[in-house]
A and B are shown apart, each in its own frame.
Chain A
Amino acid sequence: MTGCYLGIDVGSVSTNFALIDENGNLLKKLYLRTAGRPIEAITNGLKMIQESFEDDIKIMGVGTTGSGRKLAAVIVGADVIKNEITAHAVACITEYPDTRTILEIGGQDSKIIILRDGVVVDFAMNTVCAAGTGSFLDRQAQRLGIPIERFGDIALMSQNPTRIAGRCAVFAESDMIHKQQMGYKVEDILKGLCQALVRNYLANVAKGKEIKSPVVFQGGVAANTGIKRAFEEELGMEIIIPRYFDVMGALGAAILAKKFMAQNKRAKTKFAGFEAAFREHTAGSFECQGCPNLCEVVQIYVDGKLVARWGDRCGRWSADMAV
């Protein structure tokens, strides 16, 4: 039986899993759609991991990250609960210790992380603007009737990219529709879109940051060769895409869990076991009437028992809960 560490990254678009062994080798990765039902995504992922390994593995530690990191921690039982910036950086420098810049574009947000001498020194994150994210590209590919997997390769065929206004998702979309109606070639529009996204990213997310090579590009969108090329052209630098670019958050969380357990030798993992996937989890919420803040308080039940609460501004509901 191999000792393993599990990392889970729960975002609004995807829920990712990474399982590593004692030596840090990746044994399994999963990229699942969250589709508005994070609990299902988390329990499904757990089941899939259990099915592929049966009793061959023993989970020695769990780390969670992403906007749903607390939820995942409640369901699975986590030793480390980490923000996604640190998690992404850790995964990246484990594979490329010299990295000085990480560009990350995922389904729901985008970030830039600046490292010097293997340590994060600065970062920025965009969670508001949709134009720079994977969901936006998905949507445009769908509108043009192109499978997202082929998006990048088609864009690479372009000789004469169309200029698309990329300042915001709404503009970009209407500009594209316009260009399409004017009869521009699909590959030129796609390439134009890649360039617009990259310009938008550099002007907003990366504003004021000093991008130095080695530059690593990760997150779901790194699969898109058109975007990679657009970055290379715009920055005039080589761009590295790590092997597990689409699950770097989860991988980082797993690595952090492994480190944490190594530091705390006597600690026992909080992992709730694969049975956790078969328990009944429900999330509910209510509006607290305690004061005019009217907080939306989230409650998580496991097998009918209340186990966690959050969302209250004053601590009135969450104070007596563990998470």
Chain B
Amino acid sequence: MRIGIPRALLYYNYYPFWKIFFESLGHEVVLSSPTNKKILKDGLESTVDDACLPVKVFHGHVIDLINTVDAVFIPRIISVESGEFICPKFLGLPDMIRNSVAGLPRIIDCELSLYRNKTGFMEHAIRVGRLLGNSTQEALRAYLLASSKYNSYKKFRVKNGRLPIDEGDKSFFEVTAPDYSKYKDGSFKFNVLVLGHPYNIYDRYVSMNLIKKLQDFGAKIITPEIIPERNISAGAKKLNKKLFWTLGKNILGSAYYYMDNCKLDGIVHVASFGCGPDSLVGELLERKVSRDYSLPFLYLNLDEHAGEEGFNTRLEAFVDILERRRCGESNVSSHG
């Protein structure tokens, strides 16, 4: 079977696992194209107005797959860590897609909740395998293979600081060369922590190439995806209250850990228009960063209407602040 995976939402987290899992069960995995103008437009047209931008983009990716695959994989995700939840939008995603996209192929829709169940991921994978007509045995074997490869991928990612960014049409998982060979360590001018949903910060179209632009200004980019999980948890412990959202925990935990333990020159927080969780996390973060650490902080809101011009202006002004702190008052760069 040709199984389509939309290059959106949790693609940036779990694609390596599912690719290996499906392939070892003898299926072919097809990715939607990297986000482009048409995908965004299709997504905007097929969704209700109050959906957040990433969910709209997800719709566009499903539409991009319609004519090329036998099934689209859209799990119904409730929780990816024990005792935590993710945003409720993921829970209704398969239904939302069925309601708003016409001419769909089969949807592989299977619930995942690790809230009370640590081994739930294995069970989830086995159920997905069985939905595809495989035996429990086969699915279990595929699960073991995929999870061991997925874990070594994650280790590799953290160890090498390899951000999950696609290159051209190639998925981040297939790009093996280190991504910024042109920046040798030590040649970075600043360390910048970029925080936000993986599907915002790594989607080159939606983020208007934020990471690449910052790298071109000489920034070394740190994100939660390349910070060891134990450090994120250590950082998250500093919160006054336990955060029950995995995503908010990752963002705030990374920020707190980094601000206390590493040299950091600035923080960029990327939020999407129409995202409740983001605005909450953003406010907590901004207050903390400016009050307790007086670090430069840039808040970027991704919005389908926002022009690239204003986005670049903000970015350049932020880099000017970093530049000033680095070299003192006198230096003027000719660009930016």
Contacts and interface: CB of A to CB of B under 8 A. Distances in A.
Interface of A: 67, 79-86, 109, 118-125, 127-128, 208, 256, 259-260, 263, 291-295, 313
A83 B316 contact: yes
A295 B308 CA distance: 12
A313 B306 CA distance: 15
A80 B320 CA distance: 13
Nearest to B323: A86
Interface residues of B, number: 37
Contacts of A259: 330, 332
Nearest to B317: A85
Contacts of A313: 205, 209
Contacts of A292: 33, 36-39
B332 A127 contact: no
Contacts of A125: 310, 313-314
16 contacts: A82-B316, A82-B320, A83-B317, A85-B317, A86-B320, A119-B321, A119-B325, A120-B324, A125-B310, A127-B310, A208-B283, A208-B286, A259-B330, A291-B36, A292-B37, A313-B209
Nearest to B282: A208
B26 interface: no
A293 B290 contact: no
B302 to A, nearest CB: 12
Contact of B332 (A83, A118, A263): A263
A84 B321 CA distance: 13
A10 B335 CA distance: 16
Contacts of B39: 292
A120 B286 CA distance: 17
Contact of A119 (B209, B324, B331, B332): B324
Given A109-B310, A123-B317, A292-B33, 16 more contacts: A80-B332, A82-B316, A82-B336, A83-B313, A84-B313, A85-B313, A86-B320, A119-B324, A120-B321, A121-B296, A121-B321, A127-B310, A259-B330, A263-B330, A292-B38, A294-B38
A122 B37 CA distance: 32
Contacts of A80: 332, 334-335
A81 B37 contact: no
Contacts of B209: 313
Contacts, number: 86
Interface string B283-313: 1001100100010110100010111011011
Contacts of B313: 67, 83-85, 125
Contact of B329 (A67, A84, A119): A119
Contacts of A84: 313
Nearest to B286: A208
Contacts of A291: 36
Contacts of B312: 83
Given A118-B329, A127-B306, A293 B320 contact: no
B281 to A, nearest CB: 14
B40 to A, nearest CB: 9
Nearest to B294: A121
A295 B38 CA distance: 11
A128 B320 contact: no
A79 B299 CA distance: 30
Most buried by B among A82, A84, A119, A291: A82
Contacts of A293: 36-38, 205
B332 A67 contact: no
Contacts of B37: 292-295
B332 A81 contact: no
A268 to B, nearest CB: 13
A79 B334 contact: yes
Nearest to B312: A83
B138 to A, nearest CB: 37
Contacts of A260: 332, 334
B307 A127 contact: yes
Nearest to A88: B317
Contacts of B324: 119-120
B332 A122 contact: no
Contacts of B332: 80, 256, 259-260, 263
A122 B297 contact: yes
A120 B36 contact: no
Nearest to B328: A119
Contacts of A124: 299
A84 B320 CA distance: 11
Nearest to B311: A127
B292 to A, nearest CB: 14
A62 to B, nearest CB: 11
A84 B313 CA distance: 7
Contacts of B309: 67, 127
A300 to B, nearest CB: 16
A292 B61 CA distance: 13
Contacts of B314: 83, 85, 123, 125
A83 B313 CA distance: 5
Contacts of B205: 293, 313
Contacts of A127: 306-307, 309-310
B323 to A, nearest CB: 10
Nearest to B321: A120
